[in-house]
Amino acid sequence: MRLLGAWFAIPLWQRVVGGLVLGVALGVLWPEGAASIKLVGDLFVRLIKMLVVPVVLVTIAAGIASLGDPRRLGSIGGRTVAWFALTTLIAVSIGMAFGLLIRPGDGIALAGIAPHLLGPAVSPADQLLGIVPANIVEALAKGDMLAIIFVAILLGIGSVVSGEAGKPVVALLQSAAAVLLQIVRIVMEATPFGVLALIANAVAGGGMAVFVNIGWLALCVVLASLVQIGVHASLIAFVARLPVVRFFRGIVDPLVVAFSTASSSATLPVALRVAQDNLGIARPIASTVLPLGASIGKDGTAMYVGLLGQFALQALGIVPDAWMLGVMLLTGALAAFGTAPVPSASLFMLAAMLSAVGVGPEQTALVVGLVLPFDRLLDMTRTMPSASANLTVATLVARAEDGLDEARFRGASLA
């Protein structure tokens, strides 16, 4: 029991890094031994595959249902959702663009996997038709991700607009999301062993060159995060017509908390304070927009999922066409809306995006196993544009709703 207590007392990311180091050592020093623990990696793959469908269905529906009151779908709620939808789409586009330009996944040998074939082409009309499932249960069983996302959106919207009658369903969705969140946490405890097995086999098959690409991926995350924050600055300057320097001086505290905790939820209390004290946003607007943004305002996650999707396709030798890129843009944005508030949860949403374009969970899990040991630092970086997006949208909504104290916003003294 003491050994177990000592094991769980070590932060998960440190245990994952330990698994990574052991996996590299095993793959380099005893490549034949890596094959003997392949079963552990396969089990980790199956755990991820098991969770993808329920996590996507429940968390997206629960995220939309977090509006809670149909009245919040009015002016403030409508503006909030519209702005978050726009910034999320832009974020996915930026991530995909950096992935396509810098191509961080080129040259990776993932345990010797051959380029993945997607099968016969399907016409855009048939793909669009397939978004609406003829049988919901069949779509869930097959893991038809576009159909599952469509059902999740309808379920969330229907729960909200039903008012009082829909409250039990909203409560059920939120309860189910909380339960799934705990299951995700339990599965993540197996990550060090899964990473050890997957990395050992990847190094045994492709050598140490697989890690060169992680540096390129990290560079893409930093550059894309800066560009996305630049998008927020443009919205403040040209839509809200407010001084950008004042805005970013006022939100330094939540940006620092976002980086240090890698959690949008942990940033919320600080964001609520600076929104009112530094930016002059009226309390009713701040208390509506910011909590909602903590659930659906995930620009950093959206950017990362878009980037990682291109990274994965390049690692697997897949050349996407225009239709695939469009599907990835849409599914990446929708998946980001429902990402659970736990570190590395975006990696589960990556499976949803790749599944929508025909990539199997086994290939996705190999990419996850490669990236996961480094994901904590990348997570800290990409949480900053999510925090910036939340306060940007709150400012835009307050400006439009005449709920912004411009004198306080422009004031020289910041709380």
CATH number at residue 355: 1.10.3860.10
| 261 within domain boundaries | yes
| 20 within domain boundaries | yes
Domain extent for 348? 14-26+36-53+79-114+190-410
- Whether the CA torsion 128, 132, 135, 137 is positive or negative: it is positive
Residue 360 burial by CB count (10 A; 0-12/13-18/19+): exposed, middle or buried? middle
Please give the pLDDT value at position 91: 96
| 391 within domain boundaries | yes
Spatial CA neighbour of 140 closest among 47, 65, 52, 48? 52
Q: How confident is the model at residue 413 (pLDDT cuts 50, 70, 90)?
A: very low
pTM higher than 0.95: no
Q: How far apart are CA 409 and CA 243, in angstroms?
A: 9
* Residue 124 CA to its chain's centroid (Å): 26
| 63 within domain boundaries | no
Q: How is residue 95 written in tokens?
A: 């991530």
Across the range 93-122, mean pLDDT stands at: 71
Spatial CA neighbour of 119 closest among 357, 312, 363, 361? 357
The single residue listed with the structure tokens 């899964």 is: 194
Q: What is the pLDDT of residues 170-212, one digit of tens each?
A: 889 889 888 887 887 787 788 788 878 877 877 776 666 666 7
| 151 within domain boundaries | no
| 199 within domain boundaries | yes
Higher pLDDT: 103 or 411? It is: 103
Contact 96, 328 (CB under 8 A): yes
| 6 within domain boundaries | no
| 169 within domain boundaries | no
Residue 410 burial by CB count (10 A; 0-12/13-18/19+): exposed, middle or buried? exposed
pLDDT at residue 347 tops 80: no
Number of domains into which the chain is organized: 1
